[in-house]
Structure 1
Amino acid sequence: MKFDHLGNAPTISDSAYVAPTATITGPVQIDAGASVLHGAILTAEFGARLTIGSNTVIMESAVLRASGPFDLTVGDSCLIGPQTYLTGCRIGHGCYLSRGVSVFNGADVGDGCWVTINCVLAPHARLDSRREVPAYHLVRGDKIFSPSEAADDRAAWDHDVSHSEFFDRIFRSGSGLGRTLDDRMAEAMERYSAALARHSLDACID
C-alpha cells in the first residue's frame, strides 16, 4: 500500500517491484529495478526523505524510517535483510545487511560493507568502505566491539547510550539540567505522539 503524507507521495520507478503487503508512506523514492518485499515498511515523515537505489532489495518485514532532520538513503545494489531496522542513516552502494541488523540516526555505512546477523550501529556510527562486521557485534563511532568487549568497556557504552544522548540526539529535547528522566520522557513522548498523529491525515493512493 502507498500513502501520501502531508502532500508528499512516494515516487516509484516503473521497473521497481513493491509487494502488495509492503507499506510505503511519504516522500519515498524507489529507483529502477529495486524490490521491496512483503511486510516491509518504508516511511518518510516530517520533512525527511527516504531513497532506495537501483537494483536494491528490501526483504520481508524490514523497517526503514526517515524522520525530521534525519534522511535515510540506501545506495544501489544493496541487500537489506529481513527484520532489519534502519532509521535516519546512510547506506552506501553494494552493501549487505543481514537479518536483524539495526542502524540508528546519523550512522554512515560506506560502500561494499557487510554487516551480519543482529549487529547494531549506534547513533552516528561510521563504517569505512569494505568493512565487515561479525554477527552480534556493536559499532560505536568507527570502532567495532564484540559483545564481550562492549560489556567490558562499560563506561564508554554508558556514555554512548546515555539518557542525555537519547533525548538530545533522537528527540532534540534540549537541556536536561534540573529535569528528571521521567519529566524528559513524558515531554518527549507527548511531542512525538502528537507528531505521529499527523499520519491520521495520510491518504491511501493505491
Structure 2
Amino acid sequence: MQFEHVGAQPRIHPDAVVAATAVISGDVTIGAGCQILHGAVITSEGGPITLGEHVIVMENALIRATSVNPVHIGDHVLVGPMASISGATIADEVFLATGTRIFNGARIGERCEVRINAVVHLRTTLPPETVVPIGWVAVGEPLVILPPERHADIWASQRELDFPGYVFGLDRDTPDLMVQLTERYGSSLARHATDRRID
C-alpha cells in the first residue's frame, strides 16, 4: 500500500518489489532491485527516506524518518524481520538482524553487523566493520558496546545523549513529561489523517 503524506508520494524503482501488505508512506525513494516484504512499514514523518539498490526489508520491519533525522540506507543492506530504524544513516553492505533497533541520529558504517535484538542507540556511530553482538547495546561517544546486564553503564552513556530532548524537544526533568510528549507527538502524527492512498 502506498500513501501520499503531506503532499509527498513514494518513488519506487520499477525493478523493486513491494509486497501488497507493506506500507510505503510519504517522501520515500526505493532503488532498483529492492525487496520490501509483507508487513514492512516505511514512513516519512517529515524527513526523506532513501533506500539504495538491492536493499531487503524483511517482514514487519519499520523504517521511519523524522524532520530532524532523515533515513539513508546504502546498497546491499539487509534489514531483518521486526527490525526498527528511526532517523539513521546506514552505509553499504550492512546486516541488521532480526529485532535490531537503530535510533535517531545513529550512523552505521560499511559492512557492519548488528546481530539479533542488538541496539545502536541515539547519536551513536559504528565505524566500518563493527559487530554488535546478539542482544548487546552500542551507545555513546566514545563508542562502547555493552551487554544488557550492564544497564548502569549503558545508562551512564545514554543519559548524556538526552533521548527526550533530542527526539522530542523536551527536558527529561519536566514533571509532566509523558503528558507533553504524547500530546506533542500525537499532534504531529495526526497529519496522517489526511493521507491519501495512491495505489
Q: Normalising by structure 2, what TM-score?
A: 0.94
- Computed over aligned residues only, the root mean square deviation of the Cα atoms, in angstroms, reads 1.6
Matches for 1:86-105 after TM superposition, within 5 Å:
86-105=85-104
**Following TM superposition, by how much is the alpha carbon of 1:160 offset from its aligned partner in structure 2, in angstroms?**
3.9
Which secondary structure state, in structure 1, belongs to the residue aligned with residue 162 of structure 2? helix
Aligned residues: 197
Per the alignment, do residues 176 and 57 of structure 1 end up closer, same or farther by CA in structure 2, a change over 3 Å counting? closer
Question: How far apart, CA to CA, are the structure 2 residues paired with 1:60 and 1:75?
Answer: 19
**Following TM superposition, by how much is the alpha carbon of 1:164 offset from its aligned partner in structure 2, in angstroms?**
8.6
Gaps of 5+ in 2: none
Q: 2:167 aligns with which of 170, 176, 180?
A: 170
User: Could you say which residue in structure 1 is the equivalent of 2:125?
Assistant: 126
Per the alignment, do residues 204 and 97 of structure 1 end up closer, same or farther by CA in structure 2, a change over 3 Å counting? same
> Based on CA coordinates, which of the two structures has the bigger radius of gyration?
1
Gaps of 5+ in 1: none
User: Could you say which residue in structure 1 is the equivalent of 2:16?
Assistant: 16
Question: How far apart, CA to CA, are the structure 2 residues paired with 1:117 and 1:25?
Answer: 27
Question: How far apart, CA to CA, are the structure 2 residues paired with 1:163 and 1:132?
Answer: 23
Question: How far apart, CA to CA, are the structure 2 residues paired with 1:189 and 1:74?
Answer: 29
What's the CA shift string for 1:65-113, capped at 9, x where partnerless?
Answer: 0012110111100111100011001111000111000000011100011
Which secondary structure state, in structure 2, belongs to the residue aligned with residue 70 of structure 1? coil
Question: How far apart, CA to CA, are the structure 1 residues paired with 2:26 and 2:148?
Answer: 37
Runs of 4+ in 1 over 2 A off after TM superposition: 156-164
Question: How far apart, CA to CA, are the structure 2 residues paired with 1:98 and 1:123?
Answer: 18
Question: How far apart, CA to CA, are the structure 1 residues paired with 2:110 and 2:5?
Answer: 31
Question: How far apart, CA to CA, are the structure 2 residues paired with 1:126 and 1:157?
Answer: 15
Q: Normalising by structure 1, what TM-score?
A: 0.91
Is the contact between residue 119 and residue 136 of structure 1 (CA under 8 Å) also seen in structure 2? yes
